[in-house]
Structure 1
């Protein structure tokens, strides 16, 4: 079974409890948290089986963005992403 990875970021003033609640929702929908971001940004990386992607819902007003995780490039050069 294949899976996709996404990065979910939150607004800077988001309480930790809100992020934890979103993590619980993602895990209940079949997602696996790969990494939590607490320094420069608030958020997490989540791996979701492709057949479960449509069951995820990110409707919180605290969420700043959701984007597919992948290689980052600039002017044809690959930047390493941790």
Structure 2
């Protein structure tokens, strides 16, 4: 079970260690980490992962640390 792909962005004051814990929880719920955006001078404080529907709602409730969660996909211009 891996789930649909999402981008999870945390608030600026959230530490790498806190993000590590959320990544671990996603993986324990059956999800799959795709990319960390907060490492090596990344521009976003977060990650991309396949997140099971069964865990997504729980993750969305952490509004004190998470800025937003949005579906990951390809963006194109015309």
- TM-score above 0.5, yes or no: yes
Q: Please give the per-residue CA displacement for 1:12-61, whole angstroms capped at 9, x wherever unaligned.
A: 1111111011111101100000000011111000013xxx3123321321
Name the CA distance, whole Å, in 2 between partners of 1:2 and 1:32.
6
Number of residue equivalences: 72
Which is richer in strand?
1
Name the CA distance, whole Å, in 1 between partners of 2:24 and 2:2.
22
The Cα RMSD (Å) is: 2.0
Name the CA distance, whole Å, in 2 between partners of 1:2 and 1:20.
18
Aligned to 2:71: 68
Structure 2 unaligned blocks of 5 or more: none
* Partner-residue secondary structure (3-state), 2:34: strand
Shift in CA distance, 12/3, structure 1 to aligned 2, threshold 3 Å? same
Which is greater in Rg?
1
Structure 1 unaligned blocks of 5 or more: none
TM-score, structure 2 as length reference: 0.78
- Stretches of 4+ moved more than 2 A in 1? none
Aligned to 2:46: 43
